[in-house]
Amino acid sequence: MHGTVLIVDPDPEQALTLRDSLIAEGHVVQVAQTFQAAVQTLAVGAVGVLVTAVRLGAFNGLHLVIRNRALDPHIRCIVIGRPTDRCCDLDRMGVPFLEKPVDASTIAAAVSQEIDKAAEQPLRRWPRKPVHLAAVVSDADIDIVDLSYGGLRLQGRETPLRVGTELTVSVPSLGVSVTAVARWTKPLHQDGEVWCGAEIVDPPAGTTNDWKGIVDSLDLARGGEKPVVYRRL
């Protein structure tokens, strides 16, 4: 079973070695050399396995793993680095750690194992669409990171994004409001921002708020650009 792999490593020689090894195994491979480039690639939503170095300049590969887990827990992750780079957080999250330099057989086996694990995970009930939409919840400015027929992934202040809270999410650009319940949150920054997963509450009988139609009306532009938003008339 083959999958799309994103390699994140500022060392071009190591990245090339990993890329060639995985291409030889039949995988589709993308390479990013910076944290920011990796974030942009992951936002497109086509990655099955993330392979990241620990040392990414001012950033840490572990931060990328944690960020990615919050956005899409179905993507498998592998971290590579020096022996001293290994930490207990990786073991706690169940993320494999490979010591540099990583040879062809080691990376191929590790990626194949992670793809097999992904295949064992249950499929999502609804496919998600990554978006960048401004919304308002309880007079607070909130960003919608992605959405589906059954849920929203939000980014904003911890208040009002609290687990168990019923949220009225207003999306001015779409001219629609939807009710959801916050199911989980994860801290994003030290300044109180969080990611929040919210489940859409079934609308009352007879409502004209066709959320499924809203989701279907959103198409992603190519090349990691912002989504094209089609206004419903």
Query: How many structural domains are present in the chain?
Result: 2
Q: What is the largest CA-CA distance in the chain?
A: 61
Same domain assignment for residues 149 and 91 = no
pTM of the model: 0.56
Same domain assignment for residues 8 and 114 = yes
**DSSP code of residue 85:** G
Same domain assignment for residues 49 and 114 = yes
Q: Which of 158, 208, 159, 166 is nearest to 186 (CA)?
A: 158
103-119 per-position pLDDT tens digit: 999 999 999 998 888 77
Same domain assignment for residues 90 and 173 = no
Pairing assessment for the beta strands 140-147 and 176-187 based on DSSP bridges: unpaired
Same domain assignment for residues 139 and 103 = no
Same domain assignment for residues 65 and 47 = yes
Same domain assignment for residues 158 and 116 = no
Same domain assignment for residues 91 and 147 = no
Q: Which long-range contacts (CB under 8 A, 24 or more apart) does 144-149 make?
A: 144/169, 144/171, 145/71, 145/195, 146/45, 146/71, 147/215, 147/218, 148/124, 148/215, 149/200, 149/211, 149/212, 149/215
Q: Over pLDDT 90: what percentage of the chain?
A: 31
CATH number of the structural domain spanning residue 177 = 2.40.10.220
Identify the domain containing residue 181 by its residue range. 129-229
Element housing 183 (H / E):
strand 176-187
Residue 232 is predicted with a pLDDT of 33
